[in-house]
Structure 1
Amino acid sequence: MTEGDEVAVLGVRVRLGAGATMDDVRALKTWLERDEPLEDLVSRRHLRIDAKPGTDGPPGRLGPDLDLVLEILGDVVTVAALTEYTARAVKTWTNNRRRLQGGDPEPQIRPLDSDGE
């Protein structure tokens, strides 16, 4: 690879729907950081979880315009495995939130494009 070559960003993006709040985004981020096996990947610095501005939401979208981006930092996990881990953790978090607060934040999980979007 030469200078100026772009490196593909691998990972997944989690977007909460219109019924979500900023507290939901923060709570889900904390949940993901503490969920096995994501916690292990984060602690060994093989995964970074950041809240980033949403880039492809519909105009006039209600709710927070932040997505959680789980970016793979090493060759220790595949995007498919990360998507599976994330989907399982998000489903558990959503079920707990629904039971405690009601409503459904309608999470969407998708792999990042090669440019990290």
Structure 2
Amino acid sequence: MMSDMTEGDQVAVLGVRVRLGAGATVDDVRALKTWLEREEPLERLRSEEVLSIEERTSTDAARGRLGPDLELVLKVLGDVVTVAALTEYTARAVKTWTNNRRRLQGGDPDPQIRPLEPDGE
């Protein structure tokens, strides 16, 4: 079967970015990543190999920003889930994690969740 793509064409990267605010630590980012990896249905999508969760250095962090320059990127690797559904699953899991963290440690990590740009950034 012929593809309509030519050399140099890029496939849009679908997914969401989760960034914690200035009150968060690197440990918070890593704890949230672990939480997301274990949260159903995200865990199911990972086990089906249609979702990856990556920790990476933020490319557009504000100059002079306090807190970690790390973010979590959840990328859709197949066509089993839409970005809207992934955003909803992620938002629910992040809200639960945030409430749990607030109860145990105090403070507010001020999470932000947004879709990835088509280039994955």
TM range (shorter): over 0.9
Consecutive aligned runs of 4 or more in structure 1 exceeding 6 Å deviation: none
Q: Which amino acid aligns with 1:28?
A: L
Written as runs of structure 1 = structure 2, the 5 A alignment for 1:25-36 is: 25-36=29-40
User: Which TM-score applies when normalising by structure 2?
Assistant: 0.95
Partners of 2:34 and 2:90 in 1: CA distance: 13
Deviations 1:31-79 (A, max 9, x none): 0000010000001100000011112221101111011000000000000
Counting aligned pairs with the same residue, the percent is 80
User: Which TM-score applies when normalising by structure 1?
Assistant: 0.98
2:31 maps to 1:10: no
Q: Provide the secondary structure at the position in 2 that maps to 1:39.
A: helix
Alpha-carbon distance, 1:90 to partner: 0.1
Deviates more, 1:101-110 or 1:56-65: 56-65
Instruction: State the partner residue of 2:94.
Output: 90
Q: Provide the secondary structure at the position in 2 that maps to 1:71.
A: strand
The count of corresponding residues between Structure 1 and Structure 2 is 117
Partners of 1:13 and 1:52 in 2: CA distance: 10
> Over aligned residue pairs, what C-alpha RMSD do you find?
0.6
Alpha-carbon distance, 1:3 to partner: 1.9
Which has more radius of gyration? Answer: 2
**Uncovered stretches (5+) of structure 1, i.e. residues with no partner:** none
